[in-house]
Structure 1
Amino acid sequence: MKFSKDIKRYTDYSGKSALLMLLTQQGLWSLFYYRIFNAAYRSHIPNFFKRIILMIGVVFQKKVEIFTGITLPYSATIGEGLYIGHHSGIIINAAAVIGDNCNISQGVTIGVSGRGSKRGVPTVGDRVYIGVNAVIAGDIKIGNDAVIAANSLVTKDVDSGTTVMGVPAFKVSDRNSHDYIL
């Protein structure tokens, strides 16, 4: 189950028990509801029942969003092992795709932007580290093992295994995310 991989990432970083992490980490609270309602969204249950479950899901997710400041819509595609380092100000677009074992810091936005053929939402690869207050927007691809530095605005594709920073973001090194991702 994907949620167990999420919990493992938290316990690996902190060295503390899963129970303590579940009781104290707002990122896990948000991921818990996301995983439940995303499973319902992707299930093959009859549409009538699915709609009822998802309406309930919207209410639960909105409560968690207000309490934690984390927006994880059930229709987004988020791989296993997501780690949200600090809560608050995190907004993920409902159509965004995020790979496995990524780290998202506080204040991150992964959203829609662009014009014409570049209008859309990002696809984020596996093991990507996204720093504090970074914005990733538009129909772009972030490669595996990339690092998005704090306060960066990413509106163009990012190659795998590179670090970008700035407004607009540009490549600053070939260092990958291995030092940031456990």
Structure 2
Amino acid sequence: MSIAPAPLARQALESPPDSGAPLRAAPPAHMGQSNLNPLGMSLWSLWREDLRAHDGLALEQGFWALAVHRFGNWRMGIRSKLLRAPFSIAYKLLYRVVEWTCGVSLPYTVKVGRRVRIWHHGGMILHAETIGDDVMIRQNTTFGVVRTNHNFELPVICDGADIGVGAVILGAVRVGKNAVIGANAVVLNDVPDDAVAVGVPAKVVKYRHERPERTYTP
């Protein structure tokens, strides 16, 4: 004899963690349809700025991943699909090369801001909706969906966020401006601006110097 789960238990099994953001049944309008590179900057200017963000080290794998990402978006500015085709083939090949050799998966559908720094490399799945300006990302980091049937519910990483080694950020959550995510933290809910979040699941333990009067205990 089988026993049906109670309503609350069934809801807990079928619903993703509450991130405070509405569920998304379709991709954002911009996803994969246009050039998402920062406005007003040429591809060459973005490459030079990304290189400076990586201390001028052209052999940094994070720089390679961003360079291919910028190229993948630049080609979307070519309106004619026929003219765009050879660049799309080149992008797809380069994207796989970066995945295989650098261990960084950063598809062109992610909107990436300026001066993003990808420290080290390996085990990095960066499938976010947006990654803001001046974001720091370290190795073995995962941004992605919380469940396979919620493919378009992706994290938003705001300007100045600092993501620690091995952090996992899942679902339609917002990591606020200048927030810090500790090493190996698992983020399933929104993290406020200037907050420091650690643990599994991640909890806010304090705020950075901008808001010293507010402290939290884990």
TM-score by length of 1: 0.83
Q: CA deviation at 1:4?
A: 2.2
Q: CA deviation at 1:5?
A: 2.2
The C-alpha deviation readout for 1:21-77, integer Å capped at 9, x for no partner, is: 00x211111111111112113x14212333442232111110111000011111211
Q: CA deviation at 1:3?
A: 2.5
- State how 1:21-170 maps to structure 2 within 5 Å: 21-22=57-58, 24-41=59-76, 43-93=77-127, 96-114=129-147, 120-170=153-203
Runs of at least 5 residues in structure 2 that lack an aligned partner in the other structure: 1-44, 211-218
Closer, same or farther: CA 139–27 of 1 in aligned 2, 3 Å: same
What secondary structure sits across from 1:88 in the alignment? coil
Q: CA deviation at 1:147?
A: 0.3
Q: Which runs of 4+ in 1 moved over 6 A?
A: 115-119
Q: CA deviation at 1:81?
A: 0.6
Does the 8 Å contact 1:118/1:139 carry over to 2? no
Closer, same or farther: CA 176–2 of 1 in aligned 2, 3 Å: farther
Does the 8 Å contact 2:131/2:158 carry over to 1? yes
Distance between the aligned counterparts of 1:101 and 1:7, measured in 2?
Answer: 13
- One-letter amino acid matched to 1:53: F
What secondary structure sits across from 2:87 in the alignment? helix
Distance between the aligned counterparts of 1:74 and 1:33, measured in 2?
Answer: 8
Percent identity, please.
31
What secondary structure sits across from 2:107 in the alignment? coil
How many residue pairs get aligned? The number is 166
TM-score by length of 2: 0.70
Does the 8 Å contact 1:3/1:80 carry over to 2? no
- Partner residue of 2:46? 2
Runs of at least 5 residues in structure 1 that lack an aligned partner in the other structure: 12-17, 178-182
Structure showing greater Rg: 2
Q: CA deviation at 1:6?
A: 1.6
Distance between the aligned counterparts of 1:115 and 1:30, measured in 2?
Answer: 25
The C-alpha deviation readout for 1:126-175, integer Å capped at 9, x for no partner, is: 01100001011101111110000000000111100010011110001102
What secondary structure sits across from 1:156 in the alignment? coil
- One-letter amino acid matched to 2:118: I
Across the aligned residues of Structure 1 and Structure 2, the Cα RMSD in angstroms comes to 2.2
- One-letter amino acid matched to 1:158: V
